[in-house]
Amino acid sequence: MFVDAAGGCRPHGRDYGDRNDARVLSGIAAAVQSVSGVGPRILIAGGGFGGLYAALYLARSPDRPPGTRIVLLDRKNFFTFTPLLAEVASGSLGREHVTQPYRVYTAKHEFEFLQADIHVIEPQRKRLVTSIGQLSYDYLVLALGGEPRYFGMEEVERTALPYQSLRHALALRDRGVGLVEQFQHTSDKTRREAMMSFVIAGGGPAGSEVAGELQHLLCDVVPRYYDLDVVPRIVLVEGGEEILGQFDPRLAREGHRLLEERGVEIFVGVRVAGYESGSVVLSDGERIRADTLVWTVGVGPSRVVTRSDLPRANGGGVEVDEFLRVVGCPNIYAVGDCNHIVSNRLSATAAAGPIQKSRRSPSIRGCGRRATSRTTSSGAPSNATRRTTLARSSHWGPGKRWSRLSATAGPDGPPGGCTAWSIS
Ligand SMILES: Cc1cc2nc3c(=O)[nH]c(=O)nc-3n(C[C@H](O)[C@H](O)[C@H](O)COP(=O)(O)OP(=O)(O)OC[C@H]3O[C@@H](n4cnc5c(N)ncnc54)[C@H](O)[C@@H]3O)c2cc1C
């Protein structure tokens, strides 16, 4: 019940020990409440890259005061390794390869986990309202990530498949395979065209990866089992001048070339402007009849944040100072995709969460360090972020299957970067 995912893959190459048996969750909330006055209680809201690494860091910290309780909260009971979600969408990997139960970590490290949906934060009362009751804290680390942004396009929001979580990746896989099944007994030409057209909005790493993986699923795997008399159309739409814009330009060009070589159509300099009568409408007026629109554009603030009385920068992320403290709330910190640093901004990448965590945690212990700027003068992510930003190359060339390229290349490095890890 509690250990929902089984993980064989340890993406960071660390041994976190054997998988822990499921523990009884009920009653832990009460236990957390009852320690009031014993030592500081740190709640970490959200167990993604920012939250999980914050928990691990604080749990390992030799400086934490005696009696400190660290409790990680998440609505699901497993960590998701988002960079590999595209492979789940194509069926190349299963859910067990990209998830790790939090219990694996709590078995080895001194923090607790509670599965709970957080509804709202009440900073004045120092408590969270959650699906398992109200939880009070002495310190709160907000790491709730972001939610897709649709820029007011309601029809797009209703139609598009978001692409942020394991659930979304599985839904996309099921949609693709389901459409192929329907296609077998559909004779209407217009319907057939829409069924086999897949538009991906956003040519960043997530969109580019999902385009490559869908192409692999629909053009390499599906024809082995189905008699498809058309070549599925996969269209990647990017509003900027080039896909993979946050990478070194040579790496971005290589990604573009590889995708096109595989048959992905790439439209740059246009945006998805709407979805009408079964067609994706582009900003230049072109319409693409497609049942499937995958949305990888824009990260907006979590609904919990918008519901709560917290300062936000231009209606976006939680406003934090250089120590990642929420402005006006000295005992709340915000890390990862849900924050907005007043003076500078990390890109929304997995690298940012752990980097920010290391800047924030010391100040919980009262010896804060500044969160330094990680953007270059041009506004592009610095190498600190680029180093761990990943692009998949599997299926894209001989000998590269299951391997990934990381954009370690700085301005003078090789355009291909080097292999970040290899699964088999
Ligand atoms: C498909 C995809 C691929 C990506 N690939 C890369 C990559 O290759 N390299 C890279 O650097 N970055 C990549 N990213 C970006 C990276 O995943 C994010 O920047 C990073 O996860 C942000 O960390 P976070 O802790 O802020 O939020 P998240 O990792 O999103 O974690 C937020 C957590 O909060 C939980 N949560 C949210 N709301 C609630 C609630 N109300 N109650 C309880 N729990 C809640 C969620 O379940 C989740 O576990 C990718 C993102 C996606 C979606």
Instruction: From the CA of 79, give the closest atom in ligand 1.
Output: 49
**395 part of a folded domain:** no
Instruction: From the CA of 47, give the closest atom in ligand 1.
Output: 49
Domain holding 113, by residue range, is 2-148+300-380
Distance 379 CA to ligand 1 centre (A): 22
Distance 161 CA to ligand 1 centre (A): 17
**Residue 227 exposed, middle or buried by CB count within 10 Å (0-12, 13-18, 19+):** exposed
Nearest CA to ligand 1 atom 29: 48
Residues, the chain: 424
Is 91 in the same domain as 167? no
Distance 338 CA to ligand 1 centre (A): 9
Residue entry with tokens 């953007």: 375
Number of domains comprising the chain: 2
Tokens representing residue 379 in the block: 């506004």
**Full DSSP string of 18-46:** SPPPP---TTHHHHHHHTTTTS-EEEEE-
**Residue 129 exposed, middle or buried by CB count within 10 Å (0-12, 13-18, 19+):** middle
Measured distance CA(206)–CA(389) in Å, rounded: 11
Task: Give tens-digit pLDDT for 262-305.
Answer: 999 999 999 999 999 999 999 999 999 999 999 999 888 899 99
Nearest CA to ligand 1 atom 46: 46
Degrees (nearest 5) of the Cα angle 353, 54, 147?
45
Measured distance CA(33)–CA(318) in Å, rounded: 26
Ligand 1 is surrounded, with C-beta below 6 A, by: 46-51, 73-76, 82-83, 85, 117-118, 143-145, 163-164, 205-206, 302, 304, 336-338, 348-353, 388-390
Measured distance CA(308)–CA(129) in Å, rounded: 10
Give the list of residues 6+ apart from residue 295 with CB closer than 8 angstroms, or none.
Answer: 148, 150, 156, 160, 161, 162, 163, 201, 202
- From 248, 275, 297, the end of a domain falls on 297
Distance 285 CA to ligand 1 centre (A): 33
Q: Would you report the helix, strand and coil content of the chain in percent, each value rounded to 5?
A: 30, 25, 45
Inform me whether the pLDDT recorded for 357 exceeds 60: no
Q: Which three-class secondary structure state does DSSP give residue 164? A: coil
b/e code 155-187 from CB counts within 10 Å (16+ = b): ebeebbbbbbebebbbebbebbbebbeebeeee
Is 47 in the same domain as 138? yes
**208 part of a folded domain:** yes
Task: Give tens-digit pLDDT for 39-65.
Answer: 789 999 999 999 999 999 999 988 888
Is 290 in the same domain as 351? no
Is 291 in the same domain as 210? yes
Distances (CA, A) of 106 to 32, 66, 182, 203, 365: 15, 18, 45, 37, 21
- For the entire predicted model, the pTM comes to 0.78
Nearest CA to ligand 1 atom 41: 118
**50 part of a folded domain:** yes
List, in sequence order, every residue forming a beta bridge with 246; answer none if it has no partner.
none
Is 255 in the same domain as 304? no
Is 260 in the same domain as 369? no
Displacement of CA 15 from its chain's centroid (Å) = 23
Distance 333 CA to ligand 1 centre (A): 17
Is 335 in the same domain as 247? no
Is 291 in the same domain as 304? no
Q: Which of 4, 57, 72, 82 to mutate to test the pocket of ligand 1 (most atoms within 8 A of CB)?
A: 82
Nearest CA to ligand 1 atom 3: 83
Measured distance CA(374)–CA(397) in Å, rounded: 33
Task: Give tens-digit pLDDT for 68-91.
Answer: 999 999 999 999 999 999 999 999
Task: Give tens-digit pLDDT for 91-107.
Answer: 999 999 999 999 999 99
Is 114 in the same domain as 173? no
Position 354 confidence tier, pLDDT thresholds 50, 70, 90: low
**409 part of a folded domain:** no
Q: What is the CATH number of the domain that holds 97?
A: 3.50.50.60
List, in sequence order, every residue forming a beta bridge with 133; answer none if it has no partner.
130
Nearest CA to ligand 1 atom 4: 83
Is 267 in the same domain as 368? no
List, in sequence order, every residue forming a beta bridge with 282; answer none if it has no partner.
272
Q: How many CB atoms lie within 10 A of CB 107?
A: 15
Backbone angles phi, psi at 159, to 5 degrees: -95, -40
Is 270 in the same domain as 348? no
Distance 130 CA to ligand 1 centre (A): 20
pLDDT at res. 344: 53
Instruction: From the CA of 348, give the closest atom in ligand 1.
Output: 19
**415 part of a folded domain:** no
Is 221 in the same domain as 291? yes
**405 part of a folded domain:** no
